[in-house]
């Protein structure tokens, strides 16, 4: 009996993808060899890498627009550093929406002057700052589209003429927008794309090569582009599973199709949070609520034991909130079925009856 998996990441993946991945560990492409036992230079794996790269661009609507897709290692944490290494000559502007933005700022500070254009630190990041402007003399502007920990999501991205960089680790491929407004997008795989261990980087080639410092090979996007994302041995299994997940998404009808389901899931859960007197959402401004990670608390902590028992009995996993927020966090990534959200909502209603 499979769990209802609300884990914040690594998180739920489509069951059909897991099935294929499990089989490929024993026999890949009928080669009588495991996926993880073959050369990454073999045609079978090069096809996987190329397929994953082109599916990423296709799903985001970024083919033939000067972008390259890379599957690197090191997660968003290494990108915090690589973005600055590759783009920061003098100064850069960052929007501070919490933990991940903070970490990105910390690493970039080693390479130049940092301007924090706005921050929601004053209220423990429970909203997305709105009234700010992006200086025109910065090398780039950096933002985090979704904050996994606090459950906020940017819904309006400021227009700007400067290079625009976005960490989309926790909501990439979940909602439609004009992705061509960004010059560099990066995302750790372990939410909507695949298992931990690979990072998708989508970069417009024309923004590279403009800093004066020498960049070590492994940190240089141009080196990875020049080698078709195979400068060194890639994380074979995470890239393969990412490719399977992207194929699954394409088969469903792409981002616009999954967005409809994601909206249904979010509406179902947030409606219950707002209706049920025992619960309260963490994010103050409803328009800033993340459709990926819903954060909420009990209005009366004396019900916590009962609630915890109820959701565990219902086969729910991963509902505990992050330590910096407390309460509960329901992560509703692409692969989470609507039925799982219904199970959670039923449990919330049941608590109300019992209370």
Tell me the closest approach of the beta carbon of residue 74 to a copy of itself, in angstroms: 5
Of 63, 180, 181, 232, the residue at the interface with a copy of itself (CB under 8 A) is: 232
Q: Which one, 66 or 216, has the nearer CB to a copy of itself?
A: 216
Give the integer Cα–Cα distance in Å for 338 and 59. 22
Q: Calculate the alpha carbon distances from 253 to 4, 260, 277 in Å.
A: 24, 11, 37
Give the integer Cα–Cα distance in Å for 60 and 142. 19
Tell me the closest approach of the beta carbon of residue 165 to a copy of itself, in angstroms: 17
Give the integer Cα–Cα distance in Å for 214 and 308. 53
Q: Are 94 and 118 in contact (CB under 8 A)?
A: no
Find the helix or strand (DSSP H, E) in which 144 lies: strand 140-144
Tell me the closest approach of the beta carbon of residue 238 to a copy of itself, in angstroms: 6
Give the interface size with a copy of itself as a residue count (CB under 8 A): 63
**Residue 159 dihedral angles phi and psi, to the nearest 5°:** -75, 140
**Residue 347 dihedral angles phi and psi, to the nearest 5°:** -65, -40
User: Is residue 165 a contact residue for a copy of itself (CB under 8 A)?
Assistant: no
Interacting positions 188-227 with a copy of itself (CB under 8 A): 188, 190, 194-198, 214, 216-219
**If DSSP codes are grouped into helix, strand and coil, which group holds residue 71?**
strand
Q: Which residues of 137-167 are buried (b: 16+ CB within 10 A; e: fewer)?
A: ebbbbbbbbbbbbbbbbbeebeebebbbbbb
Task: Give the residue among 212, 184, 231, 209 at the shortest CA–CA distance from 80.
Answer: 184
Find the helix or strand (DSSP H, E) in which 5 lies: strand 4-5
Tell me the closest approach of the beta carbon of residue 351 to a copy of itself, in angstroms: 23
Of 112, 157, 231, 261, the residue at the interface with a copy of itself (CB under 8 A) is: 231
User: Is residue 9 a contact residue for a copy of itself (CB under 8 A)?
Assistant: yes
Task: Give the residue among 56, 80, 79, 81 at the shortest CA–CA distance from 69.
Answer: 56
Of 19, 181, 299, 324, the residue at the interface with a copy of itself (CB under 8 A) is: 19
Tell me the closest approach of the beta carbon of residue 329 to a copy of itself, in angstroms: 11
User: Is residue 40 a contact residue for a copy of itself (CB under 8 A)?
Assistant: yes
User: Is residue 180 a contact residue for a copy of itself (CB under 8 A)?
Assistant: no
User: Is residue 118 a contact residue for a copy of itself (CB under 8 A)?
Assistant: no
What is the token pair recorded at 271?
Answer: 């409606």
Interacting positions 310-349 with a copy of itself (CB under 8 A): 315, 317-318
Interacting positions 239-258 with a copy of itself (CB under 8 A): 241
* Stretch binding a copy of itself (CB under 8 A), from 29-37, 90-98, 201-209, 339-347: 29-37
User: Is residue 5 a contact residue for a copy of itself (CB under 8 A)?
Assistant: yes
Q: Are 108 and 84 in contact (CB under 8 A)?
A: yes
The HSE-up count of residue 276 (CA atoms within 13 Å, CB side) is: 27
100 is catalytic: yes
Task: Name the catalytic one among 164, 191, 265, 291.
Answer: 191
Q: Which one, 47 or 287, has the nearer CB to a copy of itself?
A: 47
User: Is residue 235 a contact residue for a copy of itself (CB under 8 A)?
Assistant: yes
What is the token pair recorded at 339?
Answer: 């039925």
User: Is residue 173 a contact residue for a copy of itself (CB under 8 A)?
Assistant: no
What is the token pair recorded at 172?
Answer: 């990439």
Tell me the closest approach of the beta carbon of residue 322 to a copy of itself, in angstroms: 10
Q: Are 324 and 99 in contact (CB under 8 A)?
A: yes
Of 236, 283, 319, 344, the residue at the interface with a copy of itself (CB under 8 A) is: 236
47 is catalytic: no
Q: Percentage helix, strand, coil, to 5, in the chain?
A: 40, 20, 40
Task: Name the catalytic one among 100, 204, 265, 288.
Answer: 100
248 is catalytic: no
Known catalytic residues are 100, 167, 191
Interacting residue ranges for a copy of itself, rule: CB under 8 A: 1-3, 5, 7-13, 18-19, 21-23, 25-26, 31-34, 36-40, 73-78, 80-81, 103, 106-107, 110, 188, 190, 194-198, 214, 216-219, 231-238, 241, 315, 317-318
């Amino acid at each position: 009996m499979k769990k209802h998996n609300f884990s914040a990441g690594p998180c739920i993946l489509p069951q059909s993808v897991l099935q294929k991945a499990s089989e490929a560990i024993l026999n890949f492409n009928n080669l009588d060899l495991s996926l993880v036992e073959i050369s990454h230079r073999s045609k079978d794996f090069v096809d996987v890498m190329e397929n994953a790269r082109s599916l990423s661009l296709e799903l985001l609507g970024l083919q033939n627009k000067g972008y390259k897709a890379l599957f690197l290692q090191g997660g968003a944490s290494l990108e915090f550093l690589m973005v600055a290494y590759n783009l920061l000559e003098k100064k850069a502007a960052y929007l501070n929406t919490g933990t991940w933005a903070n970490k990105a700022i910390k690493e970039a500070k080693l390479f130049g002057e940092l301007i924090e254009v706005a921050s929601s630190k004053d209220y423990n990041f429970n909203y997305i700052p709105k009234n700010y402007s992006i200086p025109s003399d910065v090398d780039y502007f950096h933002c985090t589209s979704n904050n996994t920990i606090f459950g906020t999501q940017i819904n309006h991205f400021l227009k700007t003429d400067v290079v625009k960089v976005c960490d989309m680790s926790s909501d990439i491929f979940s909602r439609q927008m004009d992705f061509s407004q960004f010059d560099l997008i990066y995302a750790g795989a372990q939410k909507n794309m695949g298992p931990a261990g690979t990072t998708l980087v989508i970069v417009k080639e024309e923004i590279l090569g403009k800093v004066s410092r020498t960049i070590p090979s492994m940190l240089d996007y141009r080196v990875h582009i020049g080698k078709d994302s195979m400068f060194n041995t890639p994380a074979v299994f995470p890239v393969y599973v990412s490719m399977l997940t992207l194929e699954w998404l394409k088969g469903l009808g792409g981002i616009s199709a999954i967005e409809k389901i994601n909206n249904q899931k979010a509406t179902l859960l947030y409606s219950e949070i707002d209706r049920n007197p025992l619960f309260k959402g963490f994010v103050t401004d409803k328009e800033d609520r993340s459709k990926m990670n819903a954060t909420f608390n009990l209005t009366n902590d004396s019900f916590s034991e009962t609630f915890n028992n109820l959701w565990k009995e219902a086969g729910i996993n991963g509902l505990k909130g992050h330590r910096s927020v407390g309460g509960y966090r329901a992560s509703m990534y692409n692969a989470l079925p609507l039925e799982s959200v219904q199970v959670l909502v039923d449990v919330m209603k049941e608590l109300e009856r019992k209370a």
